[in-house]
Amino acid sequence: MTPTLLIADDEALLARVLESELKSLWPEARIVSVVHDGVAALAAAREHQPRVAFLDIRMPGMSGMDVARELIEFDIPPLVVFVTAYDQFALEAFERAAVDYVLKPVQRERLEATVCRLKERLQAMADTADDQAGGESDDSAEAEAAVLDTDRLGQLLARLEFLEHATPGGAAQRQYLRFIKALVGQEVRIIPVDEVIYLEATDKYVNVVSSAGEALIRTSLRELTQQLDPERFWQVHRGTVVNIDCVASAVNQSLGRLSLRLRDRPELLPVARQYAHLFKQM
């Protein structure tokens, strides 16, 4: 099968250089789209379903990390290579997660090594899918084979998000939110953060689910999450943050997907692939 590639870089010249080098180093591959912002990258990925996505970390509209979070949820997620100008401290996160990266400006020797690794990983995934196929469809077997790579990518994204929001002095010195104020009818309800079970984004609101019931607030989920203790409140999906103290178990679903069973509520909360590593057996 011909490998298909997507290139997303907001600097048109660098995108052309990368495209030219890839055509030279990987002539059997087909570049299905070259775009210059994150929104276009996600749209192109949905349309073409590439096997590899080269994503610039810094792009308008959506960052490369934002796009990667969406790609993880694809039935068959592409391998991701980040094109970055990050410093060495952040690059250590790439190395630990075994997710490939290419530094700007693109160096042919480094890109050649990346292409070799991509070929090996694609072949290994194809071999694993063949071994697992049996009675499964080819797509199901290939999706199963991609789980390890999406776990690695999820770990990397979590690490990079931590690096972006790290503050001098560490988290121990931060003062986290203690109460959430929500308008319910004609009254402002004071909800202790300790009683919050999970938070769920719904259109323009966030639904605060607590032991006392549910309430809507206008604060965005991202803004609210940044005020909560990350040791207790874990993002498990693009629109869901859960109080880990309220989680009873993680339930395995098909294709390596997980759902969370809560201690005092009947619903199951789906876990996005990028956060599945948080619930791997210790």
pLDDT, position 188:
86
Is 173-279 a domain of CATH 3.40.50.720? no
pLDDT, position 52:
95
The domain ranges of the chain are 4-165, 173-279
Residue pLDDT tens, the chain, 282 long: 799 999 999 999 999 999 999 999 999 999 999 999 999 999 999 999 999 999 998 888 888 888 988 888 888 889 989 888 765 545 665 665 556 788 888 889 989 999 998 999 888 888 776 666 555 555 555 555 555 567 677 777 776 766 665 544 444 445 788 999 988 888 888 999 999 999 999 878 899 999 989 999 988 888 888 889 888 999 999 899 999 999 999 998 776 688 999 998 999 999 988 788 788 764
- The dihedral sign for the CA sequence 104, 107, 113, 116: positive
pTM: 0.61
pLDDT tens sequence across 11-45: 999 999 999 999 999 999 999 999 999 999 999 99
Query: Please, which residues have CB within 8 angstroms of residue 9's CB and are 6 or more apart in sequence?
Result: 15, 18, 36, 54, 56, 59, 83
98: left (phi over 0), alpha (psi -120 to 50) or beta: left
Q: How far apart are CA 100 and CA 164, in angstroms?
A: 19
Q: Give me the architecture of the 4-165 domain, per CATH.
A: 3-Layer(aba) Sandwich (3.40)
What is the b/e burial string over 97-116, where b = at least 16 CB atoms within 10 angstroms of the residue's CB?
Answer: bebbbbebebeeeebeebbe
Query: Please, which residues have CB within 8 angstroms of residue 117's CB and are 6 or more apart in sequence?
Result: 100
pLDDT, position 95:
61
What is the b/e burial string over 232-253, where b = at least 16 CB atoms within 10 angstroms of the residue's CB?
Answer: ebbbbbeebbbbeebbeebeee
pLDDT, position 105:
82
CA nearest to 247, candidates 270, 217, 216, 215: 270
Q: By three-state DSSP, how is residue 237 classified?
A: strand
